[in-house]
Amino acid sequence: MSKTWRIILITTILAALLLSACTQKADLPAAAIETYWKALASKNNAAVSSLSCAEYEAIAVSTMDSFLSVDLELSDLVCSSTNNTGDKADVTCTGSLTASYGAEKFDFDLSNKIFIATNSTGDWLMCGEK
């Protein structure tokens, strides 16, 4: 094998190793909770319902219904999970949901809650808060 081919081979292997080291495993429970909050902020009833576990669905839809007459803005939402058992995880988020009605604004801080994500159906879903 010529010296040029060895350099190309070594460079390719090093590049592959670097790229694989940079890839992170997706935080699926956190992504599910983020998607839920985005659906709620956009008042997407079908999505809120489908992103909630069966036990939490009625509460989720009721929560969304309470926001129908106000403008909603989701700001700086970032979530991460802990205590992931494979079928249940705790999710904490930063960011806020602002509800505006005319000149009045109400901020709901999402960082002071721990959300519960469950994976009993093969998809991670919002299933309440602690």
Domain boundaries, the chain: 26-129
Mean pLDDT of the chain: 87
* Residue type, position 72, single letter: L
- Range with the poorest average pLDDT among 6-10, 35-39, 45-49: 6-10
pLDDT in tens, 73-86: 999 999 999 999 99
pLDDT in tens, 86-123: 999 999 999 999 999 999 999 999 999 999 999 988 99
* CA–CA gap between residue 28 and residue 7 (Å, rounded): 39
Residue 117 CB partners (closer than 8 Å, separation 6+): 29, 30, 32, 33, 81, 88, 89, 90, 91, 124, 125, 126, 127
Q: What is the CATH number of domain 26-129?
A: 3.10.450.50
**Closest C-alpha to 81, from 121, 117, 127:** 117
CB 113 within 8 Å of CB 86: no
For residue 4, what pLDDT band results from cuts at 50, 70 and 90? Answer: low
pLDDT of residue 121: 86
> DSSP class of residue 52?
B
For residue 9, what pLDDT band results from cuts at 50, 70 and 90? Answer: very low
Indicate if the pLDDT at residue 2 is higher than 80: no
Indicate if the pLDDT at residue 12 is higher than 90: no
pLDDT of residue 25: 66
